A and B are shown apart, each in its own frame.
Chain A
Amino acid sequence: MAEVSLSAQHLVKRYGGVVALADGSLDVQSGEVVALMGANGSGKSTLGKIITGAIVPDGGRLLLDGEETRFSSPQAARRAGISAVYQELSLVPDMTVAENVWLANEPVALGRVRRRERKEQTTRLLALFENTLGSYVGPDSLVSDLSPSERQIVEILKALSREPRVMILDEATASLGAQQVERLFELIGDWKAGGMALIFISHRMEEIFQVADRATVLRSGNTVGEALLKETTQEHLVGLMIERGVAERRVERTADGGKTVLLETEDLRSPVLDGVNLQLREGEILGLGGLQGQGQSDLLLALFGAVPHSGTVRLAGEEVHFSRPRQAMREGLAFVPGDRGGEGLLPVRSILENLLLPSWSRYGALLDMRRARRDAEETSRGLSLKMGSLDHPVSSLSGGNAQKVVLGKWLMRDPKVLLLDDPTKGVDVGAKGEFYNILSDLRQRGVAIVLHSSDDEELLGLCDRVIVMRDGAVRRELSGGDLNKPALVSASVGAVADPVDDPSSGGPV
């Protein structure tokens, strides 16, 4: 294979006023594995997507073999020899493994697909992962019959079938078993030796040290450092990933751990959750931290009875099992989803209707509209909603105020437990502040709150305790003095030591 070099220089990507990537740089060449690292929102996915052509940058340069290029689509990048391993995104479930691996890349003769050749090639590719796949997995297996890890391997083979010069593995090991990861790393070694350049995006510190030669670290959209992994330590890398400075404390932390436990789980399991134990006390904000997609949303959905789960859940000491959100709602649970438009609101209906939607049953068979309106007015005052009138449609509100309506409609039911799934994502700073005040008030009134946030500052600023999740399980609980940024980031990426104890990570944090 010919030599290849890829160089991303000072790439910029903005979404409206939000800068996803301010100054992203990365170099990789033949025979090398570069790990791309960064905390939540550091821009590492954005950088990866620019390289694979999924996102067009607003500025900066991309050099392939020293020549400036620009990819308008993933296909364009693929033609240039850059393949990405997606997380199950590119598979069609009702098609066979062979059809999926060669989709849009079929061997063709006289306009007809050469099925036998396709099958043979697929068998050859599958042989690379021999003994790590179920015995039933063959070129003619339906993808929908495969386990998640086997599907992930099909994704890897699909990227490989295009004989790429540069391969990007974005969290490609997340759903693989230990044996499969080991095999993948052996293969990566072979591909490297064959002249391939690889970019490895992973949050597992251990794997990065195992497979990568070099690490490039992003922080707040900027490439902040590079290190040869042979010459560096986990502590140093975590140090690079962390913003200096102390998070602003928005809610006074309460010291008394003696309050009554309201909600408790034991060995909570679902396809995503891997035995979660937690305790939630009255008047407490419990944060769910960790990198994105580690089961935080699933945990909230399971508690709310919206996804099938097993294990024990106790509410005020009594065992409960919610298989439907309605049951959870009856017991005083409320769930505020993160995706405002999608799940939380009816945009064209009035604010009044939206606020009252979960509560109509309290206003009689023939609705007592006067009382309903009075309650809605009270709630909207409590939220300090900035609106024309309760009768205006929700779509007339700003993003932050709309999100307050989502919260408000559940507050009208006086919940005992409030489950928040990344509620301030995409909300402007001013509205966030008001949102925090509302949460603080609720906490004073004894409401137990579980807050999942992709914003680490928010977790540090609001929560009494934070549990850090990784791969569907609670890996660490942080409270009191341990609740700081370095500890949160180290626990998120699975670094063994706490960088605070490491003098080389530089100064007090």
Chain B
Amino acid sequence: MSAARTSLGPRLRRVALRQSYAFALVLLVVAVAINFYLQPNFFQPGILSGNLLLFVPLMFVAVGQTAVVVGGGIDLSLGAIVSMANVIFVSLMGAEPSTSRIMLALGAGFLAGILAGALNGFCVAVLRFQPIVTTFATSFIFAGLALYVLPEPGGAMPSGLVGFYYTNPLGIPVVLWVVAALLLLWGLLRSTRYGTYLYATGGRDLSAFVSGVPVSSVRFLSYCIAGLMASAGALALALSTGTGNPIGGTDLMLQSIVAVVLGGTRLSGGQGGVAGSLIGVVILSLIQSIVSFSGAPSSWQTLINGLIVVAALAGPGLISLLGRGRRN
């Protein structure tokens, strides 16, 4: 307590709370170093951006997950929403669509994602269901719908769009455009009233409520944002693979939570941000390549992801235990 009272303590804590990705940066450096040791040419710009391009869908989903987690919730259905929107995009678009057809497919895919988020938001914010159970249950609805729209992997995206996805507009890889756009959007959101409300709601909902924050609407909207981001992720997935897959988003659910956790956003809400989550995605991609370069079976990746989440859940408890030990 008294240590936090020195002039430096509170400032450091504030920085740590706001820029909670400090720890993520350390992890990033470690992961980069290991990768560099295992595979020196991994960091050639072309290979690196090509590798990261595979993680663009996850970037979108992780950003959506961040919004929900900061607001004090969690969304286990984002992977299924990605699958659903993905097959909607692919099956409505076809290989050689007209412009209006493309617009229709894009509109339908994004609308589906937002509606799915709205359903989650309605159950959690209005009906006050538990987020974990609710979104786990709705994930089966969305997964079922995805299989209904496209029972088996297939279909094709227009080759023009797919080609564009792999270009470097203005000489800058698509990945960087995406990262810049997401950071900019989040910065904008953060500077609105809604941004403040989101952190207040996740930080302590009762306080936010008595202060006049419309807590239910804030929560509802956070799930809608997540749904929208899942749709964007689904589009990126369709473009990167050029085809549709009704279970293509499944892995993104756990991965998005891992990215959020690695990025230093506390799962109990009210703190953290998108910058950390994006770093989390990059760390995840590096871990993945470490696993594959080291020759371990790819199933290890899932195991490691699970361990990261468990460690993150245990983290705050361990820290407070250590703190208590010191006090006594």
Chain A residues in the interface with B (C-beta under 8 A): 54, 74-75, 78, 86, 89-96, 99, 103-106, 108, 111-113, 115, 134-136, 140-142, 144-145, 158, 323
Contact of A113 among B7, B191, B203, B210 (CB under 8 A): B191
Contact yes or no, A103 B7, CB < 8 A: no
Q: Would you give 10 A-B contacts (Cβ < 8 Å), ordered by A?
A: A78-B212, A95-B196, A103-B200, A111-B192, A112-B188, A135-B7, A136-B5, A136-B10, A142-B13, A145-B5
Contacts of A54 in B (CB 8 A): 210
Contacts of A106 in B (CB 8 A): 193, 196
Instruction: Tell me whether B17 is interfacial, beta carbon within 8 Å.
Output: yes
Decide yes or no: A92 and B199 within 8 Å by CB, A86-B210, A115-B191, A145-B10 being known contacts: yes
Closest-CB distance, B105 to chain A (whole angstroms): 31
Closest-CB distance, A311 to chain B (whole angstroms): 16
Q: How far is the CA of A420 from the CA of B11 in the complex (A)?
A: 44
Decide yes or no: A104 and B211 within 8 Å by CB, A93-B204, A95-B203, A142-B14 being known contacts: yes
Contact of B7 among A89, A94, A136, A142 (CB under 8 A): A136
Instruction: Tell me whether B197 is interfacial, beta carbon within 8 Å.
Output: yes
Contacts of A112 in B (CB 8 A): 188, 191-192
Instruction: Tell me whether B270 is interfacial, beta carbon within 8 Å.
Output: yes
Of the candidates A86, A90, A93, A105, the one having the most CB atoms from chain B within 10 angstroms of its own CB is: A90
Contacts of B210 in A (CB 8 A): 54, 74, 86, 89-90
Instruction: Tell me whether B255 is interfacial, beta carbon within 8 Å.
Output: no
Decide yes or no: A94 and B193 within 8 Å by CB, A75-B212, A104-B213, A136-B7 being known contacts: no
Instruction: Tell me whether B208 is interfacial, beta carbon within 8 Å.
Output: yes
Contact of A103 among B191, B211, B270, B271 (CB under 8 A): B211
Q: How far is the CA of A461 from the CA of B10 in the complex (A)?
A: 51
Decide yes or no: A108 and B193 within 8 Å by CB, A90-B207, A134-B5 being known contacts: yes
Q: How far is the CA of A111 from the CA of B188 in the complex (A)?
A: 10
Name the prevailing secondary structure of the A interface residues: loop
Contact yes or no, B212 A104, CB < 8 A: yes
Contacts of A145 in B (CB 8 A): 4-5, 9-10, 13-14
* 17 additional A-B residue pairs with CB within 8 Å, beyond A92-B208, A144-B13, A145-B9: A54-B210, A78-B212, A90-B210, A92-B207, A92-B270, A95-B200, A95-B270, A99-B196, A103-B200, A104-B200, A104-B211, A112-B192, A113-B196, A142-B10, A142-B14, A145-B4, A145-B10
Closest residue on chain B to residue A52 by CB atoms: B210
Contacts of A90 in B (CB 8 A): 207, 210-211
Closest residue on chain A to residue B213 by CB atoms: A104
Decide yes or no: A94 and B17 within 8 Å by CB, A136-B7, A145-B10 being known contacts: yes
Contacts of A95 in B (CB 8 A): 196, 199-200, 203, 270
Q: Report the count of interface residues on B (CB-CB < 8 A).
A: 30
Q: How far is the CA of A93 from the CA of B206 in the complex (A)?
A: 12
Contact yes or no, B203 A103, CB < 8 A: no
Contacts of A96 in B (CB 8 A): 14
Chain B residues in the interface with A (C-beta under 8 A): 4-7, 9-10, 13-14, 17, 188, 191-193, 195-197, 199-200, 203-204, 206-208, 210-213, 270-271, 328
Contacts of B199 in A (CB 8 A): 92, 94-95, 99
Contact yes or no, B7 A92, CB < 8 A: no
Closest residue on chain A to residue B324 by CB atoms: A308
Closest residue on chain A to residue B212 by CB atoms: A104
Contact of A91 among B6, B192, B207, B213 (CB under 8 A): B207
Q: How far is the CA of A105 from the CA of B271 in the complex (A)?
A: 21
Contact yes or no, A93 B203, CB < 8 A: yes
Q: How far is the CA of A222 from the CA of B188 in the complex (A)?
A: 53
Closest residue on chain B to residue A323 by CB atoms: B328
Q: How far is the CA of A74 from the CA of B13 in the complex (A)?
A: 33
Q: How far is the CA of A323 from the CA of B328 in the complex (A)?
A: 10
Q: How far is the CA of A140 from the CA of B17 in the complex (A)?
A: 12
Closest-CB distance, B243 to chain A (whole angstroms): 40
Of the candidates B4, B203, B328, the one having the most CB atoms from chain A within 10 angstroms of its own CB is: B203
Of the candidates B7, B192, B210, B271, the one having the most CB atoms from chain A within 10 angstroms of its own CB is: B210
Contacts of B5 in A (CB 8 A): 134, 136, 145
Q: How far is the CA of A99 from the CA of B199 in the complex (A)?
A: 10
Contacts of B213 in A (CB 8 A): 103-104
Contacts of B9 in A (CB 8 A): 145
Contacts of B207 in A (CB 8 A): 89-92
Q: How far is the CA of A96 from the CA of B188 in the complex (A)?
A: 19
Contacts of B17 in A (CB 8 A): 94, 142
Contact of A94 among B4, B191, B203 (CB under 8 A): B203
Closest residue on chain A to residue B271 by CB atoms: A94
Decide yes or no: A140 and B192 within 8 Å by CB, A92-B207, A103-B208, A134-B5 being known contacts: no
Contacts of A141 in B (CB 8 A): 10, 14
Closest-CB distance, B319 to chain A (whole angstroms): 15
Contacts of B208 in A (CB 8 A): 92, 103-104
Contact yes or no, A89 B14, CB < 8 A: no
Q: How far is the CA of A95 from the CA of B195 in the complex (A)?
A: 12
Contacts of A94 in B (CB 8 A): 17, 199, 203, 270-271
Contacts of B212 in A (CB 8 A): 74-75, 78, 103-105
Contacts of B200 in A (CB 8 A): 92, 95, 99, 103-104
Contacts of A158 in B (CB 8 A): 211
Q: How far is the CA of A99 from the CA of B271 in the complex (A)?
A: 13
Closest-CB distance, B16 to chain A (whole angstroms): 10
Of the candidates A54, A75, A91, A95, the one having the most CB atoms from chain B within 10 angstroms of its own CB is: A95
Closest-CB distance, A484 to chain B (whole angstroms): 39
Closest-CB distance, B111 to chain A (whole angstroms): 24
Contacts of B10 in A (CB 8 A): 136, 141-142, 145
Of the candidates B9, B200, B328, the one having the most CB atoms from chain A within 10 angstroms of its own CB is: B200
Closest residue on chain B to residue A147 by CB atoms: B5
Closest residue on chain A to residue B193 by CB atoms: A106
Contacts of B211 in A (CB 8 A): 90, 103-105, 158
Q: How far is the CA of A140 from the CA of B270 in the complex (A)?
A: 16
